[in-house]
């Protein structure tokens, strides 16, 4: 299938198409509501309006737009319509948290580390 062909699902658009590019085009064309989880744990919901190599434009249900850098995105999921109003789902309205936190500090630049090694 080419980029112009209609894929029935996001999974097929990603796997049978050109990966991320085709999947984001599919989301934009079908106007599916998505949840975008940032690496900071913040959850944003809306429709992917546009995207380029480095960013995507998300429009929420109130028409507010947010430009999001792809480098700050952890996960994008399609929001499924709720079949009931019961909030028993333990993940309901919770922030997504990354499984691992990376420490970007260099231990060799740490003053305490340097003091301990001088003694």
What are the structural domains of the chain? 1-80 (2.30.30.100)
Tell me how far CA of residue 73 lies from CA of 27, 29, 86, 102, 114, in angstroms: 16, 20, 29, 15, 35
Q: Coil, helix or strand for 72?
A: helix
d(CA 30, CA 9): 10
Instruction: For residues 110 and 76, give the distance between their C-alpha atoms in angstroms, rounded to a whole number.
Output: 36
| The predicted structure's pLDDT at residue 88 | 45
Q: State pLDDT tens for residues 45-68.
A: 999 999 999 999 999 999 999 999
- Tell me: pLDDT of 92 over 50: no
Q: How confident is the model at residue 74 (pLDDT cuts 50, 70, 90)?
A: very high
User: If you average pLDDT over residues 76-96, what whole number do you get?
Assistant: 60
pTM higher than 0.85 for the full model? no
Q: What is the per-residue pLDDT for 10?
A: 84
Query: What's the DSSP call for residue 94?
Result: P
Distance linking the first and last C-alpha atoms of the chain: 66
């Amino acid at each position: 299938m080419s980029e112009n062909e209609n894929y029935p699902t996001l999974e097929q658009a990603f796997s049978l198409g050109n990966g991320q590019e085709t999947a984001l085009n599919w989301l934009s064309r079908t106007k599916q509501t998505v949840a975008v989880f940032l690496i900071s744990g913040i959850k944003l919901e809306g429709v992917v309006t546009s995207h380029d190599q480095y960013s995507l434009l998300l429009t929420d249900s109130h028409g507010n737009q947010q430009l999001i850098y792809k480098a700050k995105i952890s996960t994008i999921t399609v929001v499924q319509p709720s079949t009931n109003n019961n909030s028993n789902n333990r993940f309901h309205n919770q922030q997504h948290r990354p499984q691992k936190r990376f420490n970007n500090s260099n231990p060799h630049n740490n003053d305490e580390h340097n003091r301990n090694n001088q003694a």
